[in-house]
Amino acid sequence: MNPKLRQLVIAGVVLLVTSVLVGVWVGSAARRLAAAEDASSGVALASAADEGYCTGELKVILRRVLTSCGLVPGGSTRGCQPLQAKSVAAMSGGDFNALFAPLAERAAIIQFDQDSAELDLGALTLLDETFADQSGASYFLVVSRASPEGSVGYNRDLSRRRASAVLDHLQASFNDPDLEQEVGLLWLGEEFAQLDPEFCSWQRSRPVGLCSSAELNRSAFIAWIDCRL
């Protein structure tokens, strides 16, 4: 072969190999960058669909709850206390409650007796029905409250026990291997995001009888939420 032609062939092969290697390196770097961005979000990407209620604000709250205070790893209960909840929400109590208005047809309010964290028959029935109706959603949010009677510290603990009662029942009643990665807990005591009487029209475990603000806030708000985080 002519020496000049051989040099041209060798140069062409080197250029081709270099181009292929550069393409591989760039693709690998892009995949590493995407993986790093996913990891930095703090939440595994869900296969959920964005429903109409999935506003930007609700996604922020849900992500913070699930990563900072809501998931239940290794079977141990975690959650956010009232002071933490204000930081998680970073908004007023009224604005926080307004986020859930579009969930009126999907959510439920589990009510308790004063000073009690015991689930009665109506509460158990509604909790089971609501949890069973997952409909492909990814996250089950439990937001518990207490009415203003008693001390602030007592009501913090009472709302925590109410959230725990919901979780304990779900763990005992449903053979759901993904439960620990689905349930987010947020307990608010009496200090943040008290429900006003307009929520009396929502699905409640005690649909008849008195429904003042006090009765309404002896409760745990529950809902499956289907948002792409």
pLDDT (average), residues 182-210 = 91
Instruction: Count CB-CB contacts under 10 A for residue 18.
Output: 10
Pick from 42, 49, 45, 48: nearest CA to 65: 42
φ/ψ (deg, to 5) at 126: -70, -35
User: Is there a contact between 185 and 78 (Cβ–Cβ < 8 Å)?
Assistant: yes
User: What is the side-by-side order of every strand in the sheet holding 139-144?
Assistant: 108-111, 219-225, 139-144, 183-187
Highest-pLDDT range among 11-20, 84-93, 155-164:
155-164
Lowest mean pLDDT among 9-18, 21-30, 150-159, 208-217: 21-30
Instruction: Look at residue 30 and tell me whether its pLDDT is greater than 80.
Output: no
In DSSP terms, 223 is beta-bridged to: 141
pLDDT (average), residues 123-147 = 93
pLDDT (average), residues 69-91 = 63
Pick from 3, 178, 154: nearest CA to 73: 178
Instruction: Look at residue 126 and tell me whether its pLDDT is greater than 90.
Output: yes
- Average pLDDT, rounded, for the chain: 77
Model pLDDT, residue 45: 36
Instruction: Look at residue 125 and tell me whether its pLDDT is greater than 90.
Output: yes
pLDDT digits (tens, 9 = 90+) for 158-179: 999 999 999 999 999 998 888 8
pLDDT-derived band of residue 79, with 50, 70 and 90 as boundaries?
A: low
pTM of the model: 0.73
Give the burial class of 23: count Cβ atoms within 10 A of its Cβ; 0-12 exposed, 13-18 middle, 19 or more buried.
exposed
User: Is there a contact between 224 and 139 (Cβ–Cβ < 8 Å)?
Assistant: yes
pLDDT-derived band of residue 87, with 50, 70 and 90 as boundaries?
A: confident
Residue 184 is classified by DSSP as E
**Residue type at position 78:** R
Model pLDDT, residue 53: 79
Place of tokens 């009472």: 158
pLDDT-derived band of residue 13, with 50, 70 and 90 as boundaries?
A: very low
Pick from 198, 197, 207, 183: nearest CA to 122: 207
Model pLDDT, residue 148: 92
